[in-house]
Amino acid sequence: MDFSHKAIEKKWQKYWAENNTYKTTESNSKKAFILDMFPFPSGAGLHVGHIKGYTASDVFARFRRMQGYDVLHPIGWDAFGLPAEQYALKTGNDPRDFTLKNIDTFRRQLKAMAFSFDFEKEVNTSDPNYYKTTQWIFQQLYKKGLAENRDIDVNWCQELGTVLANDEVIIVNGKMVSERGEHLVVKRKMRQWVLKITEYAEKLLIGLDNLQWPQAVKEAQKNWIGKSVGAEVLFETELGIKIPVFTTRVDTIYGVSYVVLAPENELVHKVTTPEYKEEIEQYINQAKMKNEIDRKDESKPKTGVFTGSFVINPITKEKAPLWIADYVLDGYGTGAVMAVPAHDPRDWEFAHKFNLPIKFVLKTKDESKAFVGESAYVNSESIMGLNKNAAIQKLIEILESQNLGSKKINYKLRDWIFSRQRFYGEPFPVLYNELGEIELVPEQELPVTLPKTEYIKPSGDGRSPLANVHDWVNVEIAGKHFVRDTNTMPQTAGSAWYFLAYLLTNKPGELIAINSAEAKQRFAKWMPVDLYIGGQEHAVGHLLYARFWTHVLYDLEIVPTPEPFQNYFSQGMILGPDGRKMSKSWGNVINPDDVIDSHGADTLRLYEMFMGPLEASLPWSYDGLDAGLKWLNRAYRVVYKNTFSLINNGNLDFIYNDVVKKVTQMIEEYKFNTAISQLMILVNAFYKEIPGSVYQPYVEGFVKMLSLFAPHLAEEMWRMLGQNSTVTLSEWPVYDETKMIINKVTIAFQVNGKLRGSAEVDLNLSSEEILTIAKKDANVVKFIEGKSIVKEIVVPNKIINIVVKD
């Protein structure tokens, strides 16, 4: 008899909803804040890739709940953003209505999967009650000097009418285009809000040390922050213009052949001589068509233009030509590099291309290529005979004594560009008075909400569509005229603090103030997040921004810990059946609704957790899905029409307790696939005893463990075992070490090296006792009867071998 997934799913989902089974509790000293990366509610709905991460977090939340923890397992919607706005523009719909409709679809799908979310904690970043707090946090950033309006180079997409983040831009046929729609993107200088995340670079770096994160994710963050200890050196042009250069190898300064500026460096126009002006302008325009990844690609041919100026080496006093080249980036260091071709592969390639001198200052036997490393100094007057550290220190002292340089710590991290020229985003809580000066919207007047308007189409002139809503833009306060900032915040604004929003929410749409005493009590109870599961694509951007905001809130004494996520796990992707990333364009996307209809939610949950290690990216397999359903039916038949004993005959003591111990440890380590394997071993053991006297508490323990992966079926089996409460809130099974002592072993019986029988016997029997048992085995007797026994070999607790001859 197989179970009907359609019948039991509706039954138990109704029960959980009516009994508020997954409500967050506040009664225990132990707590577990289990967090998912909340989804963007697109029109496509969830796919089975989303299901993997949500199932993993749900398994762990159910586990902690049964262990007696207070569990907070919430969900919400990353609802602002470009996709909803683009859909609205194409269809003529309001993005707000479109988003709410999509949220309904997502919520239905999540509930169909039996995820134990507390939906009373649900948040929506596009709800004014939510972004009121986003605006309040922005105002605190501004008050701390961490938010600034600045003229900067940005990725501008004319077709979409907005600035795009670097991760929203891709390269197609050598050109920068938007990831969405593949529209042309160019570099453009615009006045934008930026958040000074660079001010927190060192804190963000140090904070990684005590986090339980995958090492690869930590390294990705460290590389993004990119701390470098070096020196800032002043090279001066013949006209007296000082050019600061950052270098980590000031000890190679004797080998400088040229100095190179980034095309965007503000000094370029000052140092360019008239005869090179046109060529420089053309090159700058070409550089604007490339993105940062393309410019940093060392495989690309080096390009550059001479400015016509020369600089003076502050140590050697020699002249060096001043160039611009797009392999130098303005956002890192000072946007200027001292080029030492003999000891840097990029500079080597550039120097060869433009016939610039190459001077070795580190000893090497092979001068046919750049030498990178450490060796004795040559052609370096003041540091000959010193080691690297001593040489660097001496040169810094020389430079400092002449006010031509100093020790410097630098970071690759750049400030967070925070403005978008879109309608569908959080409005800035900022006003400009008649002098153009910035004033904050009074706190009591937050939130600044989006107006009801049909003007949501990008203006195309770099302004937000909100600029066209004159009644909204123009504000009268206390007899004074103000205009609002018409940009909106990026989608990353709402996701930078959403984990805290769950703690502020009593029911959807109602948040208490983040700076209230009650909020601080909640943060003290629940922060930091104990387990955060999310996709590999967010290993840098989102995690870094969320950490930045939490560090700031910690400094403001709003939250009790500077780090938001104590434990982060990055799950692998589920690929299409063809082994490629799931994509509509490939036609390989699997809709969970279809799988739930054909196989049931429990089968989908079980299959995705059993596919392989949680961190692995693996292809979808319908054969694997079928196998999962087959095994669940086998598990169901353990209790279907079977009765069990309340008296323990001891037959399953070892295997049951061993499985409970292993499953408990494997869940703690997120090894869900091997935990399921252990449950399969236990089911096999049950079948060896059925029909018979299977101890009912062992079957109940199995059902409890199964409930993590197949909650609908487990609830049904729990009732079949005579239980009236929900298995979800039952106690996690415990194992008994005293019943895991092996006192029986199976001994193999061989005759002339061939297996002829076996028997289960007491542990550590003597050789004589084992031989006596073996010689009474009917099959062994058949092969030794009438023959001479030459030798009897006994390996205690394992095997005996009787050697005979005719």
Q: Report the CATH number at residue 295.
A: 3.90.740.10
- Does residue 13 sit within a domain? no
What pLDDT does residue 162 have? 87
Range name among 132-136, 143-147, 162-166, 732-736 with the lowest pLDDT average: 162-166
What pLDDT does residue 290 have? 80
The confidence band for 341, taking pLDDT boundaries of 50, 70 and 90, is very high
What pLDDT does residue 58 have? 98
Res 505 pLDDT > 80: yes
Last residue of a domain, one of 491, 517, 549: 491
The confidence band for 88, taking pLDDT boundaries of 50, 70 and 90, is confident
Residues 189 and 242 in one domain: no
Sign of the CA dihedral running 322, 327, 330, 335: negative
Residues 172 and 234 in one domain: no
Residues 482 and 622 in one domain: no
What tokens does 7 get?
A: 């019948």
Last residue of a domain, one of 739, 764, 789: 739
**Phi first, then psi: what are they for 377, rounded to 5°?**
-80, 145
Residues 747 and 734 in one domain: no
Residues 727 and 788 in one domain: no
What pLDDT does residue 42 have? 80
Residues 436 and 355 in one domain: no
The number of distinct structural domains making up the chain is: 5
Res 592 pLDDT > 90: yes
Residues 721 and 615 in one domain: yes
Round to whole Å and give the CA distance between 568 and 211.
Answer: 8
Segment 456-482, tens digit of pLDDT? 887 777 888 999 999 999 999 888 999
Which ranges constitute the DSSP H helices of 611-668?
Answer: 622-639, 653-668
The confidence band for 605, taking pLDDT boundaries of 50, 70 and 90, is very high
What pLDDT does residue 596 have? 96
Q: Report the CATH number at residue 680.
A: 1.10.730.10
What pLDDT does residue 173 have? 82
The confidence band for 292, taking pLDDT boundaries of 50, 70 and 90, is confident
Res 242 pLDDT > 90: yes
Range name among 100-114, 455-469, 590-604, 635-649 with the lowest pLDDT average: 455-469
Residues 43 and 121 in one domain: yes
Residues 705 and 772 in one domain: no
- Does residue 371 sit within a domain? yes
Range name among 152-166, 214-228, 485-499 with the lowest pLDDT average: 152-166
Annotated binding site for ATP: 584
Closest by CA position to 61, among listed 113, 3, 19, 14: 113
Q: Report the CATH number at residue 785.
A: 3.10.20.590
Range name among 263-277, 487-501, 504-518, 579-593 with the lowest pLDDT average: 579-593
Round to whole Å and give the CA distance between 698 and 680.
Answer: 14
Round to whole Å and give the CA distance between 131 and 488.
Answer: 12
Res 553 pLDDT > 90: yes
What pLDDT does residue 550 have? 98
Res 764 pLDDT > 90: no
The confidence band for 604, taking pLDDT boundaries of 50, 70 and 90, is very high
Res 541 pLDDT > 80: yes
List 750's β-bridge partners, or say none: 755, 801
What pLDDT does residue 583 have? 82
Q: Report the CATH number at residue 544.
A: 3.40.50.620
Annotated binding site: 584
- Does residue 79 sit within a domain? yes
The confidence band for 569, taking pLDDT boundaries of 50, 70 and 90, is very high
Beta strands, E only, 465-547: 474-477, 480-484, 505-507, 510-511, 531-535
Beta strands, E only, 459-547: 474-477, 480-484, 505-507, 510-511, 531-535
- Does residue 266 sit within a domain? yes
Res 539 pLDDT > 80: no
Check: CB of residue 665 under 8 Å from CB of residue 620.
Answer: no
- Does residue 585 sit within a domain? no
Last residue of a domain, one of 349, 376, 411: 411
Round to whole Å and give the CA distance between 156 and 800.
Answer: 80
- Does residue 430 sit within a domain? yes
Round to whole Å and give the CA distance between 467 and 216.
Answer: 44
Residue 375 to residues 255, 343, 392, Cα–Cα distance (Å): 14, 11, 14
Cα first-last separation, the chain: 55
What pLDDT does residue 456 have? 82
Res 1 pLDDT > 80: no
Indicate the Cα dihedral angle 279, 282, 288, 294, nearest 10°. -60
Segment 638-664, tens digit of pLDDT? 999 888 999 999 999 999 999 999 999
- Does residue 374 sit within a domain? yes
Average pLDDT of every residue of the chain:
93
Range name among 516-530, 592-606, 715-729, 761-775 with the lowest pLDDT average: 761-775
Check: CB of residue 464 under 8 Å from CB of residue 444.
Answer: no
Residues 51 and 102 in one domain: yes
Res 93 pLDDT > 80: no
Round to whole Å and give the CA distance between 395 and 407.
Answer: 10
Residues 33 and 100 in one domain: yes
Res 11 pLDDT > 80: yes
DSSP result, 714-755: HHHHHHHTT--S-GGGSPPP---GGGG---EEEEEEEETTEE
The residue to which tokens 């810990």 are assigned: 561
Range name among 117-121, 162-166, 364-368, 467-471 with the lowest pLDDT average: 162-166
Share of the chain above pLDDT 90, in %: 77
Range name among 528-532, 535-539, 693-697, 722-726 with the lowest pLDDT average: 535-539
- Does residue 583 sit within a domain? no
Residues 241 and 383 in one domain: yes
Res 540 pLDDT > 90: no
What pLDDT does residue 357 have? 97
What pLDDT does residue 454 have? 80
The confidence band for 382, taking pLDDT boundaries of 50, 70 and 90, is very high
Cβ partners under 8 Å of residue 780, min gap 6: 749, 751, 756, 757, 774, 802
Q: What is the pTM of this model?
A: 0.89
Res 314 pLDDT > 90: yes
What pLDDT does residue 152 have? 87
Q: Report the CATH number at residue 209.
A: 2.170.220.10
Top-confidence range, 17-31, 77-91, 578-592: 17-31
Round to whole Å and give the CA distance between 558 and 505.
Answer: 16
The domain of 751 spans 742-805
Res 391 pLDDT > 80: yes
Segment 408-427, tens digit of pLDDT? 999 999 899 999 998 899 99
